[in-house]
Amino acid sequence: MKYLKKLEEIEERFEALTRQMVEPEVINDPATYRKTAKLRAELEPIAQKFREWKKVNADLEGARQMLFEADDELRALAKEDIDRLEPELERIEEELKLLLLPKDPNDEKNVVLEIRAGTGGDEATLFAAEIFRMYTRYAESQGWKVEITSLSESSVGGIKEVIALVSGDKVYSRLKYESGVHRVQRVPVTETQGRVHTSAVTVAVLPEPDEVEIKLDPKDLRIDTFCSSGPGGQSVNTTYSAVRITHLPTGLVVSCQDEKSQIKNRAAAERVLRSRLYEMEMAKQQAQIGAERRSLIKSGDRSEKIRTYNFPQNRVTDHRIGLTLHQLQEILDGRLDPLVDALTTYYQAERLKQQEAAA
């Protein structure tokens, strides 16, 4: 196998880390123990899959040797084993190739989800509300938490703009291909002549950076407080609980008024600000981080149409991979796995091609 030496080195490293986990000096040092456990956990899927490959490969070699037996029945059994084991070994090798791909450092992170109504007026705001509901339902199915930090509603009950923090297990890895323009084709509720209109919303999925990655210097921040607006309890319009943070070096402005507590609003606004600063840093590095990474960022550009939701045809089409599903309502109800899985498989295949071409 092409990556045999590398896999053997990974297995040796995994076994060494396993031994270290039970050493007294590691057990008694929480920081070292956590670091060792994390490294071991990262290597475990590869080591276990490699062990599976070794067993199947050994069984296959044994079956091939049996082809030289004089007994016709033994040779027939060997042929059956070979027919079963060869595709199984091929499947395991493909899985190992995927496991050996360099990991996206952002995959484990929470995200800042931003949805804004685009072209289409009131209809676009109604669709923005449906898209936000779709992601909220999907988050519920994954056991994630969604916290709204900013919400601007339209007069018809839609959403002009919503910003939410989505936290949980591997959120970015599942949502990172959702950034872009989502287009809807349907007859709006305001249409009297039954004509199909086309509207759009933009979706941005930003990895929430660790605080160590983006540090906010207090002298670079101007913090203003103001009264919250909109429906709410006694504190709304009476206390200065809403917070606006201006990042002076870049001019970025973030507001948060969802919580009644000024402290909570400031904390949420700082999280969003860090994510936007992080996005700016990522954009600066695009020219240096390789063709594959550039293509992923390009596919998430907000000016690029990525998906169409066509109501008359009960159709959802992802234009990047040419996938069409006639499951419109199911997808809007948050059953996004068919789309997410197809996109993940596609981009993994592209990365495999690049890796094999470079090897």
Q: What are phi and psi of 13, to 5 degrees?
A: -65, -40
* pTM (2 d.p.): 0.67
Assess whether pLDDT exceeds 80 at residue 352: yes
pLDDT band at 354 (very low <50, low <70, confident <90, very high): confident
* Distance set, CA 333 to CA 138, 318, 327 (Å): 8, 17, 10
Q: What is the distance between the alpha carbons of residues 14 and 37, in angstroms, rounded to a whole number?
A: 10
Which of the four pLDDT bands, split at 50, 70 and 90, describes residue 239? Answer: low
pLDDT digits (tens, 9 = 90+) for 39-62: 999 899 999 999 999 999 999 999
CB neighbour list of residue 67: distance below 8 Å, 6 or more residues apart: 75, 78, 79, 82
The 10 Å CB-count burial string (b at 16+, else e) for 251-286 is eeebbbbbbbebebbbebbbbbbbbbbbbeebeeee
Q: What are the structural domains of the chain?
A: 4-99 (1.20.58), 111-212+290-358 (3.30.70.1660), 218-284 (3.30.160.20)
197-207: strand order across its sheet: 145-153, 159-167, 111-117, 197-207, 180-186, 305-310, 315-318, 323-325
pLDDT of residue 209: 67
> For residue range 210-231, what is the model confidence (pLDDT) as tens digits?
654 677 888 999 999 887 665 5
Instruction: Tell which phi-psi region holds residue 205, choosing left (phi > 0), alpha (psi between -120 and 50) or beta.
Output: beta
Decide the pairing of beta strands 221-226 and 242-247.
antiparallel
Mean of per-residue pLDDT scores for the chain: 86
What distance in Å separates the CA atoms of residue 257 and residue 245, rounded to the nearest whole number? 12
End-to-end Cα separation, the chain, in angstroms: 14
What DSSP designation does 230 have? S
Q: What is the β-pairing status of strands 305-310 and 252-256?
A: unpaired
At 230 the pLDDT is: 54
Express the helix, strand and coil content of the chain in percent, nearest 5 each: 50, 20, 30
Buried b (16+ CB within 10 A) or exposed e, 76-115: eebeebeeebeeebeebbeebbebbeeebebeebbbbbbb
Q: Is pLDDT above 80 for 94? A: yes
93 Rama sector, left if φ>0, alpha if ψ -120 to 50, beta otherwise: alpha
* Each residue's pLDDT tens digit, 260-286: 788 888 888 888 998 888 888 777 654
pLDDT band for 184, please (50, 70, 90 cuts). Answer: very high
Band of the pLDDT at 304, cuts 50, 70, 90? Answer: low
Residues 307 and 316: their CA atoms lie apart, in Å, by 7
- Distance between alpha carbon 222 and the CA centroid of its chain, in Å? 32
Measured in whole angstroms, the distance separating CA 153 from the mean position of its chain's CA atoms is: 26
CB atoms within 10 A of CB 347: 19
Share of the chain above pLDDT 90, in %: 55
